[in-house]
Amino acid sequence: MINFVKMHGIGNDYIYVDAFQQQIKDPEKLAVKISDRHFGVGGDGLILIGPPTAEGQSKGAAVRMRMFNADGSESEMCGNGVRCVAKYAYDHQLSSSNPMRVETGRGVLTLDLWMQHGKVNQVTVNMGQPILKPLDIPVMITGVEQVVDYPIEPALPLEALTGRDWIKLCGLDDKMTCVSMGNPHVVFYCKNVAKVPLEMVGPIIEKHTLFPRRVNVHFVQVHNPGELTMRTWERGSGITLACGTGAGAVCVAGVLTNRTQRIVLANLPGGRLALKWSQPDNSVHMTGPAVEVFSGQFREDID
């Protein structure tokens, strides 16, 4: 039996396992089983909370986060997930640090915890500096220092791959911007984000050869310089109610393309996130809730 806790950050839900107490031999396989919304617990993936590595410990990390998507693939970071890791670590007395340092595939991140009735209910995470060099994201575009308002065609022939009707219907801008927040993101702007057939275009873009490590796909509608609405197709998980690193990437993309300010409110299907791309340290800061839903036990040998 595996003891778990179900948690979410504005609807971006994961199953969390305390790896201090339990050894998970095959987390990739477990992620697929336990994330299934019909035959498992159900979630966007699996997150293990365990002791930091020697390197992470030397940098002050209290815990280490490992994140696995619903398809079993391991990802570097999850902005909503890491907020819940900090809440779990504090509420379950793995660490009393505030700020708390958490080791991720993105490095060791600092999180400020906000309390209500003795429990963590909001977390601000410093997600670090965005990565903008194309081959570091990675995106297979050469000859430019940044992929900012870069023509979609012919690099990513959306019309040929998906048809023209939806492009006209949602008022898609003919440019894209690519950002890594430790994991790769591509951002598209449109006039009506609700009209994007995300279930159709998301998987095609995610797995296009332009993105050698696949990519998280975001469509964004800007309301004003301080507010936007976004929808996400997450690499390895599909349509999700929220994506924290994606919101961070969208914040950066908005500044780089002169569409939004450095402080912006992002509306996602699951709720709102407050973003700030700070000039002093060039880091992206994100604030949002972390919620524990329920706990239970899962039979690892279940078919």
Which residues are known to be catalytic?
Answer: 78, 243
What spatial distance separates the first Cα and last Cα of the chain, rounded to whole Å? 14
H-run or E-run covering 89: helix 79-91
Residue 266: count of CB within 10 angstroms of its CB: 28
Q: Is the dihedral of CA 248, 254, 260, 266 positive or negative?
A: negative
* E strands present in 88-206: 100-104, 107-116, 119-126, 150-151, 172-180, 184-190
Q: How far apart are CA 2 and CA 300, in angstroms?
A: 7
Cβ(55)–Cβ(64) below 8 Å: no
Q: Both tokens of residue 247?
A: 């919101």
Residues 75/77/81/82 CA torsion (nearest 10 deg): 140
* E strands present in 38-138: 45-50, 63-69, 74-75, 100-104, 107-116, 119-126
Residue 239: count of CB within 10 angstroms of its CB: 15
Q: How far apart are CA 150 and CA 200, in angstroms?
A: 22
Check whether the bond before 99 is cis (ω within 30° of 0).
Answer: yes
Q: Which amino acid is at 33?
A: K
